[in-house]
Structure 1
C-alpha cells in the first residue's frame, strides 16, 4: 500500500474575479522510502498540492473534491485537531525560504525543543539532547554554539540545515520539500541535496520534492510528475521521462534546461503559449467546443501522458 495517495484532488481559490482552479483534478501516489518529484513552472499548482496535503489553507481556499490518504488515514476528512497531530509529527515540510520560516525572536534550540515537547513524549533535558543530535545529523559544525544562536546569525545554508533538522525532529514518515534550495548558491545547494538524500535513507523517510529545476529533480527523485495549469500532464520514472519525454509541455521544459555545450546555435526554447510555432496545450485557455479533455495514455512502464491525439 502507498504511504501517500492523492485521488482526483481539486483545490480552488475564491477571488473577486471568480474561481481560481489551483489544483484541478490530479491523482498520484508515493511509496515508503521513495522520492517523488513535482516539477512545473510558477503557478502550475506544485506548492498548492503540498498545502492541500497538510491543509494549510488561506481563508478563501478549499478542497472542492478528491481524497488524500496518508498511511491508511484519510487526511481530507480529518478535523483541525486531528491534523494538528499529523503536521510536524508524521508529515513535515521544508519551505522555500528558511529565514521567513524560522522565528527571529527565539534561538534555534528553543524552536526545535518546543516542537519536540509538543509532539514527542520527552522532558526538556531529553529534547535538548535530541536537538543536539539533530544538529550532528545535518552536519552543522559546533552544534552547541549554533543552538544558542538566533536565525539572523546564520548563513542561508546553515538556516536550511536547521530547517531540515526541525523537519526531521519527530522522525516523520513523509517530508515535503517545497523548493528547499532555491535561495542557495550552487555549491551549498549541492551539499543540501546530498544531505537530504543521505537523511532519507538514514531515517527511512519518503520525500515529496517540489521544484522548477529539472537538474535538481534528476538527482533527487525516483519518479516525477509534471504539472501545468493545475493538472498533471505527464508522469513516470525519472530516467524514462528524461529519455522519452512525450507531452509538448514536458519537451519544452527539457529544451529550456541549460546545456553546457556553448557551441549550440539553436534558439532557446520558448514556453510562450501564444507563439504560432508552438504547440497549443493549455487545457483551460484553449479548450475547443466538441473536443474531449485529455485522457491518460500509458506509453511505457509506469509512464503516462495526458493526451487527446496519442
Structure 2
C-alpha cells in the first residue's frame, strides 16, 4: 500500500468513524449510501443483501451464499448485482477498532445505461456467473468513496456532485477485474438481465403461490434455461430463493413487528403452520417460538 493510498484509507476510516459514533447504522443524505458500525463480532444472521457495492474501512466480514463463503476486509470489496438472501457475520471488530462498513446500493438498469453511454466493452463468457463476488479494492475506488463521504459535510453540494461521483464509482467497478461478471448480468438482453427481472417479481410477490413455468415465460426464457441461469447467478433454485425470502421476512416480522408465529407464517405465504415451523427450524436452527424467546 503506497503512502497516498494509505492516507486515503485513513481518511476513509476517519469519515465513517465520525458519522457512525453511537449508532450501528447511518443512512446518509446521499441516496443509497449507508454506513455501519459494530464494536464486537456478531452472530451469523440471515438477511436480504440488496444489489450493492460493499466496502470495509476497518474490520472483516463473512457472507454466505448457498454453500459458498465470501470473506472480505479493508483491502477488498464485495458486490452483488442482484438482491440475494444471504447469511452475514461480522468476524473482526473491537471497541478500539470497530467494524466500519460502507454500502452503496446498485441499480442494474443504471449500470446498463452507463455501459451504453461509456461504450464499456462487453463479451459473453462461460466463466463463473455468480451474482456475488469479492475483488481487490483499487485505490481509485477508495479515493472516490472518500470524496463521496466528504460531501456529507457540505449538503448543498450533494444534489449536484454525488451523482457524478457515484457514476465514477460504477464505472470503476465495471472496469475492474470483477467487472465482466457484473456486465454479464446488467447488460440489456442477456440472460442475467432476464434473471434480474424475475427476481424483481419475486421480491414483490414472494408471499404468493408461484408457477416457475409462468415466471420463466414472462422473462422470455425456456424452463430449463431459466432454472440453469437462475442457479448459476444465485446459487439456488427459484423455489429455494422464494423460501429464503419468506423465512427471512417472517423472522423480521417476529422480531420487529410483534406478530405471533401463526400470523407471521400466513403473512409470508405459508398455508401450513407446521410446514412453516419445520422449514424455519431447518433454516435458522431452532423453531420460531424458541428463536423469538432467545431474541
Query: What's the TM-score once normalised by structure 2's chain length?
Result: 0.32
Higher helix share: 2
Which is strand-richer, 1 or 2? 1
Larger RCO of the pair (alpha carbons < 8 Å, separation 6+): 1
